[in-house]
Amino acid sequence: MTEQRRASRILGGALLILSAGMVVSGAIGQRSASEDLTVTSVPVERFMSAGVGEPVQGLVWRGGIEMQSPIDTFGGLSGLGFVSDDQKLVLVSDRGNFISGQLIYDEAGRVASLIGVSIEPLQNSRGAELPRAYARDSESLAVVYRNGVPAAVRVGFENLTRVADFDLADGKPQGAAREIAIPKWLTDTRTNETLEAVCIAPPASPVAGSTLLISEGIFDADGNRRGYMLGKADTGPISYVSGDGTNPTDCAFLPNGDLLVLERGVALIAFRMRLVRIPAAEVRPGAILSGVPLLETTGGDVDNMEALAVHAAPDGSTRITMVSDNNFNEWQRNLLLQFSLPE
């Protein structure tokens, strides 16, 4: 969140100078009840001059959409998970809401639209809506599988730093939070620089089923981002080496157990993004993780990229999906961008 807010100030100031008519959206509330909403999907045809199906650095561009809605609580998208084979997904907003929907693809396998969208407030452990903005700052989401089936989503929070599970029913999170025990050094750090990335290792990983936590702005003695692994047999501290001027914002595992980490930063008046890959064998307690970049860019092709997920598209291919957090600003975008690995 620190880079996000710094980016908002820098970009906001620059854009207001360039266009005095642009304004930041007003007060943002929280939904008091579940509500269906319409999301307009504007196709994103090219990325860094690449057309759909063409290589872009270490990935292949698979298309994307810009998501727009007149509902003022649609935005702030910070975490993402796919919860069914028919492309149903759940997003978490940093205003304390779940956004559920379904991705639709065209005949060419490109993402075309997000339909069936609903928004629902997160609940606390007593089943009540989160009472204050300080408690609603949900920044990451991972899908929990039981017997090979998505059963819950695991959400990481900043400010009031914690991790909690929410059961899934018909592809939507339901009911009260079930808090997960995390290290005291993490819960005691109550700022907007704490827990940004949460992901769960798949069956092929040497640490299968373990949850990886990566902080944004909590550093170890060597200046690396502090993290932690939660697992029955794989528990302990971990460190992450981020890029120069970028901070980790989310993580996701590939089916073979390799780890992807999404990073975000600011350069002049533009957002930066970086996606790195770390071999499965290196992801273990006590490790210092440092990935090989798959994609790095700055400028208009990206926005404030915060959410990352890996899933199977309708054609069976493995897709890497990134979503941006618009900070509820009119001059930022809710982008959903898809890539795949080269064959």
- Rounded Cα distance, 117 and 333, in Å: 18
Task: Tell me, yes or no, whether 30 lies in a domain.
Answer: no
Alpha carbon separation from 178 to 149, 190, 282 (Å, rounded): 19, 19, 30
Task: Tell me, yes or no, whether 84 lies in a domain.
Answer: yes
Tell me if residue 143 falls in helix, strand or coil.
strand
- Rounded Cα distance, 256 and 59, in Å: 17
Residue 5 has pLDDT above 60, yes or no: no
Residue 22 has pLDDT above 70, yes or no: no
Q: Say how many domains are in the chain.
A: 1
pLDDT, average across residues 24-41: 59
Task: Tell me, yes or no, whether 31 lies in a domain.
Answer: no
Strands across the sheet containing 97-105: 35-36, 111-121, 97-105, 88-93, 77-82
Q: What is the pLDDT of residue 28?
A: 40
Structure confidence by residue, pLDDT tens digits, 104-122: 999 999 999 999 999 999 9
Which range of residues forms the domain containing residue 67?
2-25+36-340
Q: How would residue 232 be classed by pLDDT, with cut points 50, 70 and 90?
A: confident
Q: What is the pLDDT of residue 72?
A: 86
Task: Tell me, yes or no, whether 329 lies in a domain.
Answer: yes
Q: What is the pLDDT of residue 32?
A: 45
Strands across the sheet containing 246-253: 246-253, 259-267, 270-278, 292-298
Element (H, E) at 197: strand 195-200
- Rounded Cα distance, 149 and 290, in Å: 31
Nearest CA-CA partner of 63 in 46, 40, 77 = 46
Task: Tell me, yes or no, whether 100 lies in a domain.
Answer: yes
Q: How would residue 281 be classed by pLDDT, with cut points 50, 70 and 90?
A: very high
Report how many helices (DSSP H) and strands (DSSP E) the chain contains, helices first. 3, 24
What single DSSP character describes residue 257? S
CATH number at residue 282: 2.115.10
